[in-house]
């Protein structure tokens, strides 16, 4: 027998895998999933198009992987922010602000993750992650209700509504086309809107 297991080759493969995801995320950040062609990803990652298919069975699979990877990261950031604060209201505010500011730092990516649909499989992944978003807010709301900071309400629904309110407000022309300081003020205002509602 020859060539049985793999030692550091595994390392190399993981590296290529990561490179592909990184290249894909960069492309999506620039012009959304519509701009993601297999040829473009391959070039960006410094490999041949055929090689992509050694790592992902299809374009759809690749898109889902890119999407999941990026979203997971965003959710982590927000969850971290949600731990920060003396009371629930403040923690919710921090979570919302983080959500907003990260989205504005990379609007194209945020748009692609939140709204841009592609294939049905990707839409399915998006629904799953929307649920994850809503969960992280819903947990906070539930805690706030228990502690008497918020009034009783259907947490999941409120959380979903919050995600929607933030997302919609963020893609408003008023938001995307104004100065940084104005934007900060507008973020505060949307967050206020959400906090009033709970």
Partner DNA sequence: CCATGAAATGAATGGTGGTTCACTTCTTAC
Partner DNA sequence: GTAAGAAGTGAACCACCATTCATTTCATGG
How does DSSP classify residue 32? -
Nearest distance from C-beta of residue 7 to DNA, angstroms: 5
Can you point out the beta strands (E) in 58-161? Answer: none
Which of 38, 108, 165, 171 binds DNA (CB under 7 A)? It is 38
Six-digit token string for 54: 């050694």
Determine if residue 179 is left, alpha or beta; phi over 0 gives left, psi from -120 to 50 gives alpha, anything else beta: beta
Which residue among 14, 58, 124, 182 contacts DNA (CB under 7 A)? 58
Question: Which of 27, 122, 169, 183: binder of a second copy (CB under 8 A)?
Answer: 169
Interior/surface letters 102-126, b for 16+ CB within 10 angstroms, e for the rest? bbbebeebbbbbbebebeeebeebb
Binding-site member from 18, 57, 80, 157 for a second copy (CB under 8 A): 157
| Structure token pair of residue 158 | 């409120």
Q: Judged by CB under 7 A, does residue 14 bind DNA?
A: no
Is the CB of 13 or the CB of 34 nearer to a second copy? 34
Which residue of 20, 21, 27, 36 would you call a contact of DNA, by CB under 7 A? 36
- Write out the residues near a second copy by the rule CB under 8 A: 32, 34, 115-117, 127, 130-131, 134, 153-154, 156-158, 160-169, 171-174, 186, 189-190, 192-194, 196-198
């Amino acid at each position: 027998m020859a060539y049985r297991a793999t030692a550091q080759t595994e390392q190399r493969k993981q590296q290529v895998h990561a490179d592909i995801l990184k290249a894909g995320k960069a492309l999506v950040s620039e012009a959304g999933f519509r701009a993601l062609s297999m040829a473009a990803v391959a070039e960006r990652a410094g490999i041949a198009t055929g090689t992509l298919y050694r790592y992902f069975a299809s374009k759809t699979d690749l898109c889902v992987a890119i999407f999941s990877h990026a979203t997971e990261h965003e959710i982590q950031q927000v969850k971290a922010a949600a731990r920060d604060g003396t009371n629930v209201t403040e923690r919710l505010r921090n979570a919302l602000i983080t959500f907003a500011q990260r989205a504005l730092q990379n609007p194209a990516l945020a748009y692609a993750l939140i709204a841009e649909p592609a294939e049905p499989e990707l839409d399915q992944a998006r629904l799953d992650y929307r649920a994850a978003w809503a969960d992280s807010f819903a947990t906070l709301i539930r805690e706030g209700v228990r502690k008497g900071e918020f009034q009783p309400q259907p947490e999941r629904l409120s959380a979903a509504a919050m995600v929607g309110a933030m997302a919609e407000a963020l893609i408003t022309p008023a938001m995307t086309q104004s100065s940084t300081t104005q934007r900060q003020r507008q973020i505060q205002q949307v967050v206020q809107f959400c906090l009033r509602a709970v």
